[in-house]
Structure 1
Amino acid sequence: MLEFEPHRGFGVYIHWPYCAKICPYCDFNVYAAKQRDVAPLLSAIEKDLTTWREKTGPRQVDTIFLGGGTPSLIPPKEVKYLIDVIASMWGLAPDVEISLEANPDDRSAFVGLAKAGINRLSLGVQSLNNDALKFLGRNHNAEEALRAIEEARSAFPSLSLDFIYALPRQNLIEWKQELSGIIDLKADHLSLYELTIEQRTAFGKAVGRGEWQPADDDTAADLYEITQEMMCEAGYPAYEISNHAISSQHHAQHNLVYWNSGDWLGIGPGAHGRVTIDGNRYETVAERRPEKYISVVEDTALGLASQNILTIEDVANERVMMGLRKTSGISKSDFEVLVGRKFNQETLSEFIDDGLLEETDNNLQLTPAGRLLADYVSSRLVL
């Protein structure tokens, strides 16, 4: 029997699938915005939320995250309505984090979104280099990004900026120079991601055709290591593999729900969720296509494509795989109590001796070198 554990957090993720332009590296469930009537999707999301409230019973929402896609395309009055709906159903924590993803060219909506209740903006800058922005298929240039950052800083209590590195032919000198400029922006939070090539994307197809090659593993590792070094020196220590904050006050609380194996509802086309109800922990996936999602909600009052009960082993393994992403690591008992066995001591010793893992009392955490091999270490540990 598994019970909902409030200390791990309870969040609501709403996926808005529309984008003004689909970026060539993006593997998310997104569709061109075009001229669409958004009312049916908003209505379906509200109905989906209503049914989930009946299933979860009373809880307090710690975080709301509007992601996508480009949720800043939702009119601010509709954003406020969604927040109010969630608040009326579950109630919001006094320090609730309400995040929304946006692009620099959405800055005309910033004031309205802040008034709607968004208190944390995640801004997809991706680069301060115009050539890189063009390569990444972004609609903005560096000057527009800087203007948007200033406007966002004055509108929102917490500002997070996303950047991508390990671009083709990018070297250490170039990235160090750009990273210095990123640090100078003095954002509250920085998410710095290595460019990954997903097969289904435009980039994946281009690489498959041999048009260009991504950075090799050694170069990507060097770029990651210099990123960690410079960010730490600048007062932005990593609290997760790719995430840095000026203080714990600005840690991404919604993402911590994921990394702490809390509960979250995945609402909207293609959204994934984890929710613990009546002794079971469910893995949920919503219908991907907006039209299908709307239709399924109309028929069943839920937008699900699938809902699976996770085994105890699945739950324990996720706690390790997700929890080790945090630089603070995990408590060993989080895994061992659930599965009724200890971690394999031989495997633990191997990773400790290799400088990939540190063990103190009940805690396990990856070393900086171990974070480069996080998936490998985690997968070995749970065997």
Structure 2
Amino acid sequence: MHWPYCARKCPYCDFNSHVRGHMPEAEWLEGILAELEHEASLTAGQTLTSIFFGGGTPSLMTPASAGAIIDRAAALWRAAPKLEITLEANPSTVEAERFSGFRDAGINRVSLGLQALNDADLSALGRTHDAATGIAALDMAQAHFPRVSFDLIYTREGQSAADWERELRRALSFGTEHLSLYQLTIEPGTHFATRHAAGDLILPAEDPAADMFEMTRAITAEAGLPAYETSNYARPGAESRHNLTYWRYGDYAGVGPGAHGRRAGRATVRTRLPERWLSRLAERGAVPATEERIAPEKAATEALMMGLRLTEGIDAARFQVRTGIPLADAIDTEAAARLQAYGLLSWTGKTLRLTEPGHAVLNSILVDLIPN
């Protein structure tokens, strides 16, 4: 469920988010419900395992809208036991005070965008909250929801490995079950990309960044939240069910402006600009802007790129069911043998996964492993 509005655009963000003086929530909700009906008509009989309110800043919506969407989704599909329902939230005081309303609407998991734990870096990242507000919001989230995760960005400008270690250990002391820890990436078209190109934004070099990545995995594992994906860490059993669907190349329906979906072997994309999304709904109904069959070769590439991010790797039998191609036929077997000899990859014929050193060079491995 994509909510496309933000109070402010962060300078590092390339997500489909828009700052507007007026957010037409009633019209957005009507469109979401219509798109849910359309998706349900094509996926009858499937089990609903998770709902994810992403953005943008979906915590800007009213709890009543979230409740209406949850109720409609639960009526359209067969809901799994312990249905996971996640809300992404920014830790401003006003939004945190609405947590009780979101809990009553059915939200049972919150992903909080803290991003940093000191005021100077929060300001540099363009965030609208300070560290004290962020920690207060985290306390409130933990008081209201049974499951809480929060995000931090590292390899920030001027950040040393010692700085990050102190911040990470402090983050772990808050006791959440899940952390999303991302290296700062310069995305094309963002304000940070402009500054970086001009030499006005200098990030840690490749070797220090790699050291921070390895340190992150070691410290989180020591604390009982091992990495289960390249940038995600959780207590056993507390992994994000929704995100595991992506990484295991499962089916998901995408609704809302700019949302992508994958279901029944087809890829869907919704209109990106909110105003155009609304007008298209009025003109053409709830069908996606584009919908196309995913060729087996493309499906195999997507499944490899997603699945190798997981610590568990890729199950060969599931891969063939999902893509129609045997896993051994989807990879460069000579490259796989070479990477295995280097200690970067494990390939048993039944499971393909990266070793611990391999996760540090994931992108390079993908280039070698996926045939051109």
The answer to which of 308-317 and 261-270 deviates more is: 308-317
Q: Quick one: distance in 2 between partners of 1:86 and 1:102? A: 21
Indicate whether 1:218 and 2:202 are aligned.
no
Q: Which amino acid aligns with 2:261?
A: G
Indicate whether 1:273 and 2:257 are aligned.
no
State the partner residue of 1:117.
106
TM-score by length of 1: 0.92
Partner deviation per Cα, 1:228-271 (whole Å, 9 max, x = no partner): 111111111000011001222x1000000001111111100011
Q: Quick one: distance in 2 between partners of 1:223 and 1:344? A: 30
Q: 2:64 aligns with which of 71, 77, 81?
A: 77
Decide whether the 8 Å contact of 1:80 with 1:117 is kept in 2.
yes
The answer to which of 37-46 and 337-346 deviates more is: 337-346
Aligned residues: 365
Residue 219 of structure 1 and its aligned partner are, at CA, apart by 1.7
Indicate whether 1:339 and 2:328 are aligned.
no
Q: Quick one: distance in 2 between partners of 1:347 and 1:336? A: 20
User: What aligned pairs does 1:102-141 form with structure 2 within 5 A after superposition?
Assistant: 102-105=89-92, 106-141=95-130
**3-state SS, counterpart of residue 239 of structure 1:** strand
Residue 382 of structure 1 and its aligned partner are, at CA, apart by 2.8
Decide whether the 8 Å contact of 2:220 with 2:227 is kept in 1.
yes
Q: 4+ residue stretches of structure 1 with deviation over 6 A?
A: none
Indicate whether 1:244 and 2:233 are aligned.
yes
Q: 1:47 aligns with which of 22, 26, 34?
A: 34
Indicate whether 1:354 and 2:338 are aligned.
no
State the partner residue of 1:94.
81
State the partner residue of 1:301.
285
Residue 165 of structure 1 and its aligned partner are, at CA, apart by 0.1
Q: Which amino acid aligns with 1:346?
A: E
Partner deviation per Cα, 1:79-122 (whole Å, 9 max, x = no partner): 10010111111131111100010011120111111111000000
State the partner residue of 2:180.
191
Using the aligned pairs only, state the percent identity: 40
Decide whether the 8 Å contact of 2:114 with 2:152 is kept in 1.
yes
**3-state SS, counterpart of residue 263 of structure 1:** coil
Partner deviation per Cα, 1:59-89 (whole Å, 9 max, x = no partner): 2210000000000111001110010111111
Decide whether the 8 Å contact of 1:25 with 1:136 is kept in 2.
yes
Residue 57 of structure 1 and its aligned partner are, at CA, apart by 1.9
Decide whether the 8 Å contact of 1:296 with 1:304 is kept in 2.
no
Q: Which amino acid aligns with 1:76?
A: P
**3-state SS, counterpart of residue 81 of structure 1:** helix
Q: Which amino acid aligns with 1:381?
A: L
Decide whether the 8 Å contact of 2:192 with 2:201 is kept in 1.
no
Indicate whether 1:367 and 2:355 are aligned.
yes
Gap runs ≥5 in structure 1: 1-13
Q: Quick one: distance in 2 between partners of 1:140 and 1:377? A: 38
State the partner residue of 1:311.
295
The answer to which of 325-334 and 38-47 deviates more is: 325-334
Decide whether the 8 Å contact of 2:5 with 2:23 is kept in 1.
no
Q: Quick one: distance in 2 between partners of 1:42 and 1:49? A: 11
State the partner residue of 1:328.
312
Decide whether the 8 Å contact of 1:294 with 1:303 is kept in 2.
no
Indicate whether 1:382 and 2:370 are aligned.
yes
State the partner residue of 2:46.
59
Q: Quick one: distance in 2 between partners of 1:329 and 1:71? A: 31
Q: Quick one: distance in 2 between partners of 1:311 and 1:126? A: 37
State the partner residue of 2:191.
202
State the partner residue of 1:6.
none
The answer to which of 334-343 and 123-132 deviates more is: 334-343
Aligned CA distance change for structure 1 residues 335 and 246 (closer, same or farther; 3 Å): closer
Aligned CA distance change for structure 1 residues 48 and 377 (closer, same or farther; 3 Å): same
State the partner residue of 2:168.
179
Q: Quick one: distance in 1 between partners of 2:320 and 2:105? A: 44
State the partner residue of 1:156.
145
Residue 345 of structure 1 and its aligned partner are, at CA, apart by 3.0
Q: Quick one: distance in 1 between partners of 2:142 and 2:319? A: 40
Q: Quick one: distance in 2 between partners of 1:37 and 1:315? A: 36
Partner deviation per Cα, 1:110-167 (whole Å, 9 max, x = no partner): 1111111000000000011111101011111111111111110010010001000000
Indicate whether 1:284 and 2:268 are aligned.
yes
**3-state SS, counterpart of residue 292 of structure 2:** strand
Residue 214 of structure 1 and its aligned partner are, at CA, apart by 2.2
**3-state SS, counterpart of residue 49 of structure 2:** strand
Q: Quick one: distance in 1 between partners of 2:369 and 2:143? A: 45
Q: 1:37 aligns with which of 8, 11, 24?
A: 24
Partner deviation per Cα, 1:214-234 (whole Å, 9 max, x = no partner): 222212111101111111111
Decide whether the 8 Å contact of 1:319 with 1:334 is kept in 2.
no
Decide whether the 8 Å contact of 1:65 with 1:99 is kept in 2.
yes
Residue 321 of structure 1 and its aligned partner are, at CA, apart by 1.3
Q: 1:264 aligns with which of 245, 252, 264?
A: 252
Gap runs ≥5 in structure 2: none
Tell me how large the CA RMSD over aligned residues is: 1.5
Decide whether the 8 Å contact of 1:293 with 1:303 is kept in 2.
no
Q: Quick one: distance in 2 between partners of 1:107 and 1:303? A: 35
Decide whether the 8 Å contact of 2:332 with 2:368 is kept in 1.
no
